[in-house]
Amino acid sequence: MIKNSPVTTEIDQVAWDRLLHIIAIAQQQKPRISQEEFQVWKMQVRADHSATVPCDDGNGNVVYMQVIPFTDFPLNEVKLHFANNVIHLPSEY
């Protein structure tokens, strides 16, 4: 498959959408998370394509963890910040 093919782009978009969906749903369904003013979300993909998505309070205290049995996420790891109802890249915060 060609790296910049439309199929790759669609797959990558679905993977990113899933991560953003995890963050958004957690805000609605997990009061412990939504009470945190600042959150650090990481997605860590393993060699077997499983992943963990921990959320911490910015001080390394994990307040939520989701395990994903399989993902085709395009990166081995990504970190996002959530503050004031906005998801940021670390370089944007």
Q: Would you kindly state where each structural domain of the chain is located, as residue ranges?
A: 6-92
Length of the chain measured in residues: 93
Contact 28, 35 (CB under 8 A): no
Domain 6-92: give its CATH code: 3.10.450
Q: What is the pLDDT of residues 44-88, one digit of tens each?
A: 999 999 999 999 999 999 999 999 999 988 889 999 999 999 999
pTM for the whole thing? 0.84
